[in-house]
Structure 1
Amino acid sequence: MILNWQATYQKRLVDAASALAKIRRGARIFIGSACGEPQLLVRTLLDMAPSLADIEIIHFLDAGTTSYNEEKYTEAFRHNALFIGTNTRAAIKEGNADYTPVFLSEIPLMIQQGAMPIDVALISVSPPDSSGYVSLGVSVDITKTAAEEATYTVAEVNPNMPRTLGDSFLHVSEISAFVKNDTPIAEFEQKSPDHIARSIGQLISDLIDNESTLQTGVGKIPASVFPYLCNKKDLGIHTETFSDGLIDLIEAGVVTCRKKTLNQGKVVAAFCMGTRRLYDYVHNNPLFEFRPCKYVNDPYVIAQNDRMVSINSALTVDLTGQVCSDSLGFEFYSGIGGQVDFVRGSAMSKRGKSIMVLPSTTEDGKISRIVPCLSPGSGVVVTRGDIHYVVTEYGIAYVHGKSVRDRAMTLINIAHPDFRSELLAAAKQQRYIFQDQTLPVVLYPKEYEVHWVDKQGVEIFFRPVKATDERAIQELIYDLPEQFVFTRFFQSLKSFPHKVAMPLAAIDYNDKMAIAAVIGKEEPEGREKIVAIGRYINNPNTGFAEIAFTTHQDWQNRGVGTFLLQYLIRIAKEKKIAGFTADVLRQNRPMLLVFSKSGYPMTTHLEEGVYELKIDFSQENI
């Protein structure tokens, strides 16, 4: 049969009505996913509705080219969505269709083990090649498993379907019937990112290292990161799906897949959705390897990619880190899909990162999408234990392994400013945080972030202090020798409690400014360590600000204090501050030397062993 596949193909080549005539009432029919939907077969199936009854339609992602959810088809068809698309959402909301929440990686196993038996599979394929193999083209995902396990498989042969490579082929002998249809493949047009999506994309790009392997969902927010990756090198792709934006990164030499630790040199995916440009690009292109979801979405396979970065969208995130991605209260909206598969796979990856993204508010700006608690009916897709990074247009929160108190504060800090006070009050009411906790009234000034290399060649990240730095500030103080503490605070401190540490962290970034020297930037934010802090507090009556420094003993004599002073001078001048004052113990010679290098006139007055210093910005040293 294999040697004479042409005869088999011709024998099984029929018209659509004949191919579907064998479908019995009450059958379970799987329809090819997304843009791989067999359009002629679906239209013919709808035409046959009067002769059918209680047909269950299994669909992973409905591209919406036709609708069997209309009321006139109620007795013939019942749609069971494994992921909810726009064409199915209203029917599910009204109770006229079903939704099965399931991990995408587990669907093939359910089909194979009989938990979700498939009677009929309707698929779309490329024409047979010289060896009698057809390609599933843009939709391999769970379509291949369904086609292999179905009792009866009908393939719509479409010359417009690209011949994609990988584990994407079926032999003619494996297919029950063929129907020809020369029609354009359904296309998906990605919406252009708005300013919020672009802001989120830029923040995400900061988390992506060279040689990372990426997974992004289809949507304007996950895809918004692509334009900001142009300066990256040797990125790889292992993703459930992709769209046209990937082509630009490949042609720019950013995505090469050369450094992947699994499937090196290959873009691995389960399906794609895009325009004709994309379909032409993947046709017979050996760079792309399409595989079923039982491989692509397997967390243990995903984890074999070093530096695996997953980027997925959330609908809401609560203050404890629970992520809802499939529903709006009791209304099912999308689905679990492969989100959890990639969250867990990237978390297990060596140097991997799992990133959840969402705008800070709904489109009208009236509702915060970071919430005190999930609303009734909302489904937890990513649990508190799975969550790692959360990104909104207002910043990045790393919450994995952090306490509920730290999580709440970190997430409030990336919420929309209009809702932060409300979230803070809710967190206090829920006893998540200190009852006296405060937040800055000014947005975090990201423009004051800077990298600098010290005298020993170590790169240090300098950034404004955040309200969430309270514990890190305490750790810095407790790590200082007693004599250092006395030099800095003019007294021996037996404790440095919340009531003392909080005001040092919750600053206004105007009259009160503090810059932290941070190491460990290459690791997740939870592993950052503050090794020095320079701060000033402005006196509005004099126009001068009192300045002070705290530096870990291991980081002294490396130029850190001098850099902090110069940087704080620059910021203070931008804020129209006239100069600095400081009190320095006479024996603190290193600090006196730092101040002498300010570049501005300095006056000193010694009283009872303490130098009172004054630096005037109005004129520079000659």
Structure 2
Amino acid sequence: MKNKQLTDRQIIDLIEKNADIILPLTNGEPNKLLDILEANADALTNVKIHQLLALQSRKYIEGAYPGKLSHVSYFLGGATRKMFQQGFVDLVPNNFHEIPGILKSATNLSIVMAVAAPMDEFGYFSLGTQADIVSEFIGKVPFILEINKHMPRTFGENQIHISQIVGFVENDRPLVEDIAVPIGEKDIKIAEYVTENIKNGDTLQIGIGSIPNAVVSLLKNHRNLGIHTEMFVDGIVDLAEAGVIDGTQKFTHKGKIVATFAHGSKKLYDFLHNNPSVEFLPVSIVNDPREIAKEERIVSINATTEVDLYGQCASETVAGKYYSSTGGQADFARGVRFAKEGKGFVCMSSTAKGEEISRIKLNLTPGSVVTTSKNDVDAIVTEYGIARMYGKPISERAKQLISIAHPKFREELAFEAKKLGFI
């Protein structure tokens, strides 16, 4: 194994001109390898790093190495959002499950750099909290690993043998933990409406944020739930430990919790370590609407920032400015449509800015981007109830959405909707 341990110089020598380097998201981000690239940026020519949701702000993301090293994002986060707005970061529109295909067609797929748990006795490394966009390239694209003893050893299609890597470095760095978003009274009310529609034996996709956290908190009396979700979050651990999740009634991967990446607390990472009940699969499988639909009783729970009276959900912009990206929301919106008994809930509080602004609008804020289309949306939920969208005419959609808007905005919305002939 030691003969595959790389020096800084060897790593830089492996990076050709115009190389495209692919990174996993969140804790799959190889900090030491990125340090090496930045320290030697003068030796690079037009190298692009492709990644979703970078965790750490870096000089190359801030445009410090023009013509040398740059960042291409597929989902913005705190480390990239301002830099995108300032023109230093490129953002590629995408559906999450299609990113590996985009990388195959639009990049050189030069090398993958990723964090991994230490090698086992059989010569295999585990990508730990990740499978995401990189695992399907195992055995097809050169890999450089950053070995970290803090990364949990997990199972699924995220195993890579020492014979399949170019080399590795070591960096025992504690994983970044996510602080749970506090749950408010409105979140609980929204969650109550959603959980009324979740039956024992259903399979869940749970998004991130206070509303999905609230939904999880209300499921402790359910039984035989399954999980098929892009992101493994802390709430899933709580449900598994409470005996709520067993996956026995799933239609695929029976008995397994399926995810494509995980991010949360140390409790979550400890739960994942050597846990055979969890399988990490490539996002091209987990988020493929055709695969999602095989779970005939899939329930998708996601969030949005605003909705218009057509039912269009703008989930990746805030006040008309780009904030994140599509992620897997559109994937699961399509997947539940194909599923025999699929249900999709897009959730939000009815107002923003201390009840000054309605999140249900006649038209979306200028500059907003539609994430879940009017044709795919199933149901919208606020603290005032559920508006059923799928298969409904625009007039019925408008009436239902107005009924779950904050009461102070309903009269104005109804007046404007009548002027346009919606109702």
Q: Determine if the TM-score, normalized by the shorter chain, exceeds 0.5.
A: yes
Question: What's the counterpart of residue 568 of structure 1?
Answer: none
- Alignment of 1:217 onto 2:207: yes
- Alignment of 1:171 onto 2:161: yes
Match of 1:416 among 398, 401, 406: 406
Q: Whole-Å Cα distance in 2 between the matches of residues 225 and 351 of structure 1?
A: 19
Q: How does 1:552-563 map to 2 (within 5 A)?
A: none
Match of 2:54 among 55, 59, 62: 62
Cα distance, 1:95–1:131 mapped onto 2, change above 3 Å: same
Question: What's the counterpart of residue 432 of structure 1?
Answer: 422
Question: What's the counterpart of residue 347 of structure 1?
Answer: 337
Question: What's the counterpart of residue 241 of structure 1?
Answer: 231
Letter in 2 for 1:206: E
Q: Whole-Å Cα distance in 1 between the matches of residues 297 and 245 of structure 2?
A: 14
Cα distance, 1:149–1:117 mapped onto 2, change above 3 Å: farther
Q: Secondary structure at the match of 2:311?
A: coil
Q: Whole-Å Cα distance in 2 between the matches of residues 16 and 183 of structure 1?
A: 18
Q: Secondary structure at the match of 1:82?
A: strand
- Alignment of 1:12 onto 2:4: yes
Match of 1:43 among 22, 35, 39: 35
Task: Using the TM superposition, give the Cα deviation of residue 146 of structure 1 relative to its aligned residue in structure 2, in angstroms.
Answer: 4.4
Question: What's the counterpart of residue 545 of structure 1?
Answer: none
Cα distance, 1:282–1:16 mapped onto 2, change above 3 Å: farther
Q: Whole-Å Cα distance in 2 between the matches of residues 12 and 143 of structure 1?
A: 21
Cα distance, 1:237–1:128 mapped onto 2, change above 3 Å: same
- Alignment of 1:118 onto 2:109: yes
Letter in 2 for 1:136: L
Q: Whole-Å Cα distance in 1 between the matches of residues 7 and 188 of structure 2?
A: 48
Cα distance, 1:175–1:229 mapped onto 2, change above 3 Å: same
Q: Deviations over 1:291-336 (max 9, x none)?
A: 1111111111111112100111112110011111122365211111
Q: Whole-Å Cα distance in 2 between the matches of residues 408 and 148 of structure 1?
A: 51
Question: What's the counterpart of residue 195 of structure 1?
Answer: 185
Q: Secondary structure at the match of 1:239?
A: coil
Match of 2:279 among 276, 285, 289: 289
Match of 1:98 among 90, 93, 96: 90
Question: What's the counterpart of residue 387 of structure 1?
Answer: 377
Aligned residues: 423
Q: How does 1:554-593 map to 2 (within 5 A)?
A: none
Question: What's the counterpart of residue 613 of structure 1?
Answer: none
Asked if 2 retains the 8 angstrom alpha-carbon contact of 1:213 and 1:309, the reply is yes
Q: Whole-Å Cα distance in 2 between the matches of residues 149 and 186 of structure 1?
A: 29
Q: What TM-score do the two structures reach when normalised by structure 2?
A: 0.95
Match of 1:309 among 299, 304, 318: 299
Asked if 1 retains the 8 angstrom alpha-carbon contact of 2:19 and 2:108, the reply is no
Choose between structure 1 and 2 for higher RCO, CA contacts under 8 A separated by at least 6 residues: 2
- Alignment of 1:127 onto 2:149: no
Cα distance, 1:117–1:337 mapped onto 2, change above 3 Å: farther
Q: Secondary structure at the match of 2:345?
A: strand
Question: What's the counterpart of residue 454 of structure 1?
Answer: none
- Alignment of 1:34 onto 2:26: yes
Q: Secondary structure at the match of 2:335?
A: helix
Task: Using the TM superposition, give the Cα deviation of residue 171 of structure 1 relative to its aligned residue in structure 2, in angstroms.
Answer: 1.1
Q: Deviations over 1:213-251 (max 9, x none)?
A: 000112222222111111211110000012111111111
Consecutive unaligned residues of structure 1, counting only runs of 5 or more, are: 1-8, 434-622
- Alignment of 1:77 onto 2:69: yes
Q: Whole-Å Cα distance in 2 between the matches of residues 256 and 23 of structure 1?
A: 45
Of 131-140 and 33-42, more deviation after overlay is shown by 33-42
Letter in 2 for 1:97: V
Q: Secondary structure at the match of 2:300?
A: strand
Question: What's the counterpart of residue 365 of structure 1?
Answer: 355
Q: Whole-Å Cα distance in 2 between the matches of residues 233 and 67 of structure 1?
A: 48
Q: How does 1:327-338 map to 2 (within 5 A)?
A: 327-328=317-318, 330-338=320-328
Letter in 1 for 2:150: N
Q: Deviations over 1:504-551 (max 9, x none)?
A: xxxxxxxxxxxxxxxxxxxxxxxxxxxxxxxxxxxxxxxxxxxxxxxx
Cα distance, 1:356–1:148 mapped onto 2, change above 3 Å: farther
Cα distance, 1:199–1:40 mapped onto 2, change above 3 Å: same
Cα distance, 1:148–1:413 mapped onto 2, change above 3 Å: farther
The two structures, once aligned, show a CA RMSD in angstroms of 1.7
Consecutive unaligned residues of structure 2, counting only runs of 5 or more, are: none
Q: Whole-Å Cα distance in 2 between the matches of residues 195 and 248 of structure 1?
A: 21
Of 339-348 and 357-366, more deviation after overlay is shown by 357-366
Asked if 2 retains the 8 angstrom alpha-carbon contact of 1:65 and 1:186, the reply is no
Task: Using the TM superposition, give the Cα deviation of residue 370 of structure 1 relative to its aligned residue in structure 2, in angstroms.
Answer: 0.9
Q: Secondary structure at the match of 2:155?
A: coil
- Alignment of 1:87 onto 2:79: yes
Cα distance, 1:368–1:64 mapped onto 2, change above 3 Å: farther
Task: Using the TM superposition, give the Cα deviation of residue 121 of structure 1 relative to its aligned residue in structure 2, in angstroms.
Answer: 1.4
Task: Using the TM superposition, give the Cα deviation of residue 54 of structure 1 relative to its aligned residue in structure 2, in angstroms.
Answer: 2.7
Q: Whole-Å Cα distance in 2 between the matches of residues 59 and 235 of structure 1?
A: 32
Task: Using the TM superposition, give the Cα deviation of residue 67 of structure 1 relative to its aligned residue in structure 2, in angstroms.
Answer: 5.2
Q: Whole-Å Cα distance in 2 between the matches of residues 127 and 134 of structure 1?
A: 6
Letter in 1 for 2:280: F
Asked if 2 retains the 8 angstrom alpha-carbon contact of 1:118 and 1:149, the reply is no
